[in-house]
Amino acid sequence: MTDSWDRQKYEREKRNFIERRVNQAPLWTHFTCMFGGCWGAAWLCSWLVLKFFGDSHAWARSLPVRYGIAFLFAYLCFFVAVRVWIDFAKREPEHRSADSVGLQDIGDGASSEGCLVVVAVLVIGFIVGGLFFAVGGAPLLLEVVFEAAFAGVVVRRMSGNLVLGDWKMRLLKNTWLPAIGALLVLLAIAASLHKAAPQATTFAQAVTAIRNR
């Protein structure tokens, strides 16, 4: 694109772009897939670190350290997931109910797979995606889609022109603070489990040890 917008048109186009998708697109389904996939990636990363480094390195057996590594890996996977999602979300949405579509799609996917791990990923993704949607996270990600959808558009501002298209930087700016908050909460939980069950190397072992006291 070679269009040139002023600040007022930029804000108007962004607002209309986000409102159309918030009201019509099945975002809960999208968020379920993205966050479920990221959680699965974190679980796999933690398992691989423990499997290949647990016997020879003490840090790999530490829940806080391993969970921190897994979270950072999941955050990188989140960028990949958002990039894939952009190609779907930037299309004009169909007129249908977001919630009803999301619930139906999730139910169909879970029953067809018949796999406990897949079901667990979907359930966690559904919960996290719903929380993310409920606290107003959808507009933050849709700003990223807007950035990519109108790549190349020049926005004329008093402080200097802005060229849209840097979706990665927009995603980082919109998510780094919540990500740090989530990481700190995760590390606090992992540290509590490690303190309560020092010999445990997995979440299940820690919970079992605490329960058997």
Q: How confident is the model at residue 109 (pLDDT cuts 50, 70, 90)?
A: very low
Which DSSP category does 114 fall into?
A: -
What confidence tens digit (pLDDT) does each residue in 45-101 have? 999 999 999 999 999 999 999 999 999 999 999 999 999 999 999 888 765 543 444
Q: What is the rounded CA–CA span in Å between residue 168 and residue 181? A: 20
Based on its alpha-carbon atoms, the radius of gyration of the chain, rounded to whole angstroms, reads: 20
- DSSP track, 153-187: -EEE-TT--EES--HHHHHHHHHHHHHHHHHHHHH
Min mean pLDDT across 51-55, 88-92, 167-171, 192-196 is at 88-92
pLDDT at 25: 67
Mean pLDDT value across the chain: 87
Convert the pLDDT of each residue in 122-159 to its tens digit: 788 888 888 888 888 999 999 999 999 999 999 998 88
Instruction: Please give the model's pTM, rounded to 2 decimal places.
Output: 0.85
